Amino acid sequence: MPENTAVASACAVPEGGLLSRREHPEADHPYRSPFQRDRGRIIHSRAFRRLAGKTQVFTHRGSDHFRSRLTHTMEVAQIARTIARTLGLNEDLTEALALVHDIGHPPFGHAGERALDAALRQYGLYFDHNLHALRIVEFFESRYLGFRGLNLTLGAREGIVKHSRDYTADEHPELIQYFLDQRPPLEAQLIDLADEIAYLTADLDDGVEAEILGVEQIRAGVSLFERFFAPMAAEHPGAAEKLLFQESVKLMLNALADDLIAETGRRIQEQGIGSLDDVQRAAERLAGFSPEMERLRREAKNFLYRNLYLCEDLKYGHEHAAEVIADLFRVWMADPGLLPPAYTSQVAAEGAPRVIADYIAGMTDHFILEAHRNLRKTAFTGTE
Ligand code: MG
């Protein structure tokens, strides 16, 4: 059991406070809290279902066991929920934020995000998946008679904006309602760290499944993994390497989560943080790893960049993703009338580059490849 259990309970986002308000007021539900309802709305959204068709790191070709954005999201949610419960935070809000944290991601993983950003920069704009997630929950989801979007609580929307970085009011005057001069609640601060814990461990697993990473290579390059693997291998001579590997990844995940809970609790106690207001007014974010775990986290992340995310095996996929997105962007910029009518009608208000990016960002991998094939058949006919 980590130290500092429930140490943050006085700082938890309360049910019924300012952060549980909605832009369009709604009657209270008889037995579901505002943040439970946010979680339900996110899970029932179309954008959430599309996460099943979006790449995390690997496409599904080659194995049915690679994480998709949806299964990654579920892993983040369960890690974040455990941490929130142990610290005494608002578990429902934490879970809602974890479930929505990747909803703004375009197809093709980070390669897709880079390509979409590059396409927008030609027009003086840029792509930010947090801001796109906000557009999804505030505008693109359309399922209620009384309003556009999901009408999530202020706490959920603030968490979407601020879970992974701070925005300034000078840069983003449109975000002024999200208390940009304050730190986000601990529930939101946890999300980015739970995300790191989830993908650092899952990507080792998927990297081995894809036969791009080897267990010996991970032992040599990731100290936190080797810390668990070496004694276990000594204790269980003859055990299948695959099982030793899985056990070590699991212990690595637990060690990261334990450290995050203990260090965050330590900072809360040391700085005398006793309320949500204290969290919001603290000079720095309070959720974090200890210096030693932070070093080990960076080492694991650098290892994954060097050996997996930027490796030759994935290069073709990344280049293809960039090409598909650039092609579609070019064709639709030349003739925005080729977009579906719901998007064409937004061009006058938002400008073609933003509308095209919105359309592409919502696509699954399968859908964008189909769109690309169709465009090649029509728009490119006669030019090849
Ligand atoms: Mg994520």
Domains of the chain from N-terminus onward = 19-315 (1.10.3210.10)
| Residue 211 backbone class (left: φ over 0; alpha: ψ -120 to 50; beta: rest) | left
Percent of the chain at pLDDT exceeding 90: 80
How many angstroms is it from 201 CA to the middle of ligand 1?
12
The H-or-E segment that residue 34 falls in is: helix 34-43
Cα separation, 285 vs 106, whole angstroms: 28
pTM of the model: 0.94
How many angstroms is it from 100 CA to the middle of ligand 1?
9
Q: Quickly state the pLDDT bin for 358 (edges 50, 70, 90).
A: very high
pLDDT the model gives residue 383: 46
Is pLDDT of 4 > 90? no
Hey, how many other C-beta atoms are within 10 angstroms of the C-beta on 196? Answer: 19
Q: Which residue has the higher pLDDT, 59 or 111?
A: 111
Nearest partner of 357 among 176, 122, 150, judged by Cα: 122
How many angstroms is it from 95 CA to the middle of ligand 1?
13
How many angstroms is it from 190 CA to the middle of ligand 1?
12
How many angstroms is it from 367 CA to the middle of ligand 1?
21
For the residues 215-230, what does the mean pLDDT come to?
A: 98
Contact 361, 116 (CB under 8 A): yes
Contact 361, 117 (CB under 8 A): no
How many angstroms is it from 195 CA to the middle of ligand 1?
5
Is pLDDT of 233 > 50? yes
How many angstroms is it from 348 CA to the middle of ligand 1?
33
Tokens of residue 382, six digits: 């006669």
Is pLDDT of 379 > 90? no
Cα separation, 224 vs 71, whole angstroms: 24
Is pLDDT of 316 > 90? no
How many angstroms is it from 26 CA to the middle of ligand 1?
30
Is pLDDT of 60 > 70? no
Phi, psi at 153, each rounded to 5°: -65, 160
How many angstroms is it from 10 CA to the middle of ligand 1?
28
How many angstroms is it from 105 CA to the middle of ligand 1?
9
CA distances 56 to 79, 122, 227, 258, 304, Å, are 17, 26, 27, 25, 14
Q: Quickly state the pLDDT bin for 382 (edges 50, 70, 90).
A: very low
Identify the residue whose tokens are 């990844």: 249
Nearest partner of 206 among 308, 334, 127, judged by Cα: 308
pLDDT the model gives residue 6: 87
Q: Quickly state the pLDDT bin for 280 (edges 50, 70, 90).
A: very high
Contact 130, 160 (CB under 8 A): yes
pLDDT the model gives residue 20: 94
The residues near 157 (Cβ < 8 Å, ≥ 6 apart) are: 134, 137, 138, 178
Cα separation, 286 vs 292, whole angstroms: 16
The residues near 133 (Cβ < 8 Å, ≥ 6 apart) are: 100, 101, 102, 103, 104, 160
What's the mean per-residue pLDDT of the chain? Answer: 92
Identify the residue whose tokens are 């952060």: 19
Q: Helix, strand or coil for residue 153?
A: strand
How many angstroms is it from 73 CA to the middle of ligand 1?
6
State pLDDT tens for residues 161-218: 887 777 888 888 888 788 888 999 999 999 999 999 999 999 999 999 999 999 999 9
For the residues 44-64, what does the mean pLDDT come to?
A: 85
How many angstroms is it from 376 CA to the middle of ligand 1?
32
Phi, psi at 22, each rounded to 5°: -115, 155
Cα separation, 195 vs 73, whole angstroms: 8
Is pLDDT of 324 > 80? yes
For the residues 329-338, what does the mean pLDDT come to?
A: 93
Tokens of residue 320, six digits: 């293809």
Tokens of residue 168, six digits: 């300034």
DSSP 307: I
pLDDT the model gives residue 376: 77
The H-or-E segment that residue 201 falls in is: helix 186-209
